[in-house]
Amino acid sequence: CLYIFREAALEYLKLSSKLVKQLVEILVGKLGVELDDSKIESLLGMKMVNMNYYPECPNPELTVGVGRHSDMGTITVLLQDGIGGLYVKVEEDNDAENGEWLEIPPIPGALVINIGDTLQILSNGKYKSAEHRVRTTSTQSRVSVPVFTVPLASERIGPLPEVVKKDGLARYKEVVWQDYMNNFFGNAHAGKKSLDFVKINSAKLE
């Protein structure tokens, strides 16, 4: 039985990785940039599969399934069951502190694709990482299976030079991925505050 689960998880990881590579190529291409395969593999170098279980809670308003945060990696592929409970924050006028929380209803056979902090940094802010959270329910437990793709630990991430040239400025500094990851896990999650670690203060740009 465990062998069957392992094989299914490995197949899911393999197909998800192929999908993510295609998505990155398309999204980066929309920025007017073409990355070679070795660079894309470096940005998607580590892949992790999580299997999350959220038990039903008699008083869901008193608990949090997962607090508000954005994923630190490049792209996340999420398979969720039919229970629901995933919410994404829609920013208002590029204001990350304010916005409306929208539930992402489960669609049979569909995957949820989240852009992570890494792609926001690479795009110099053109693409926004998805701030999201999970709420439990009082009637049913929930299961989700996300695949996280993150850069190799030694990879340097920063705004793509071609994008910076077009924008006329860099909104984020370049950093070794291991340092960004250490900062991400070394501090409590509070929305998208992790990006402050690499964000260049607007006052310095003037």
Would you state the structure tokens that stand for residue 21, as one six-digit string?
């590579």
Structural domains of the chain ordered from first start? 2-201 (2.60.120.330)
Would you state the structure tokens that stand for residue 76, as one six-digit string?
């996340």
Give the length of the chain.
206
Sign (positive/negative) of CA torsion 91, 97, 102, 104? positive
pLDDT of residue 167: 95
pLDDT of residue 169: 95
Q: What's the rounded Cα separation, in Å, for the pair 43 and 53?
A: 28
What is the per-residue pLDDT across 165-202, written as a single tens digit (0 to 9) for each? 999 999 999 999 999 999 998 887 778 999 999 999 75
Q: Does 105 score more than 50 pLDDT?
A: yes
What is the per-residue pLDDT across 29-41, written as a single tens digit (0 to 9) for each? 999 999 998 999 8
